[in-house]
């Protein structure tokens, strides 16, 4: 599988997966520079269901959230990398600052975010829970972050 799809294509597949009683897990993020923390997180997310969908922020969305110097990697590269990771089944891009609209369209069975998010702050939790789904958080095993990697690089090459 591991496909990069438009939201419209993904919605059709979601309908087929629901008819097959497949449990769909959804997560999202910028995934600007992929690191071990991302991989561990995606492995754990996939273990919560049958199919893992990852929504990646568009370049413009990342710029609005993280600032003009981001993303480091363009969305084509980020989605290509994410789509080729073993636990990931489908990838899509969203333009908004939050994944609320795509969550509303897909209505996943399980919505996953990192444990640094409190459940009451997770965008789309209301949609998933109101439709009988669950919201889960995943503890980080390391404190790696894209920002830390960027700062380390900048410090080393001053």
Closest CA to 57 of 24, 86, 20, 31: 31
pLDDT tops 80 at residue 68:
yes
Percent of the chain with pLDDT over 70: 97
pLDDT at 154: 79
Q: What is the 3-state secondary structure (H, E, C) of the chain?
A: CCEECCHHHHHHHHHHHHHCCCCEEEEEECCCCCCHHHHHHHHHHHCCCCEEEEEEECHHHHHHHHCCCCCCCCHHHHHHHHHCCCCCCEEEEECCCCCHHHHHHHCCCEEEEECCCCHHHCCCHHHHHHCCCEEEEECCCCCCCHHHHHHHHHHHCC
Q: What is the CATH number of the domain that holds 77?
A: 3.40.50.620
- Domain count across the chain: 1
144 located within any domain: yes
Contacts by 113-120, CB closer than 8 A, 24 or more apart: 113/27, 113/137, 113/138, 114/41, 114/138, 114/140, 115/139, 115/140, 116/140
Evaluate if residue 1 carries a pLDDT over 80: no
Q: What percent of the chain has pLDDT over 90?
A: 78
Task: Tell me, yes or no, whether 57 lies in a domain.
Answer: yes
Domain that holds residue 12: 7-157
In-domain check, residue 2: no
Mean residue pLDDT across the chain: 93
Q: For residue 122, what pLDDT is reported? A: 97
Residue 1 lies in a domain: no
**pLDDT tens-digit readout, 89-104:** 999 999 999 999 999 9
| pLDDT recorded at residue 76 | 96
pLDDT mean over 58-83: 96
Q: Is residue 95 part of a domain?
A: yes
139 confidence band (pLDDT: 50, 70, 90) = confident
Q: Is 13 among the domain residues?
A: yes
Mean pLDDT lowest among 29-33, 83-87, 115-119: 115-119
pLDDT for position 143: 66
């Amino acid at each position: 599988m591991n496909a990069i799809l438009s939201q419209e294509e993904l919605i059709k597949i979601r309908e087929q997966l629901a008819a097959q009683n497949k449990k769909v897990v959804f997560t999202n993020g910028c995934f600007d520079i992929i690191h071990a923390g991302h991989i561990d997180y995606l492995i754990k997310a996939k273990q919560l269901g049958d199919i893992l969908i990852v929504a990646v922020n568009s370049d413009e969305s990342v710029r609005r959230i993280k600032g003009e110097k981001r993303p480091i990697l363009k969305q084509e590269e980020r989605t290509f990398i994410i789509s080729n990771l073993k636990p990931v089944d489908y990838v899509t891009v969203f333009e908004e600052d939050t994944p609320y609209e795509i969550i509303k369209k897909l209505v996943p069975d399980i919505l996953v975010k990192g444990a640094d998010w409190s459940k009451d702050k997770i965008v789309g939790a209301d949609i998933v829970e109101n439709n009988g789904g669950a919201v889960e958080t995943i503890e980080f095993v390391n404190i790696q972050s894209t920002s830390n990697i960027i700062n380390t690089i900048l410090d080393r090459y001053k």
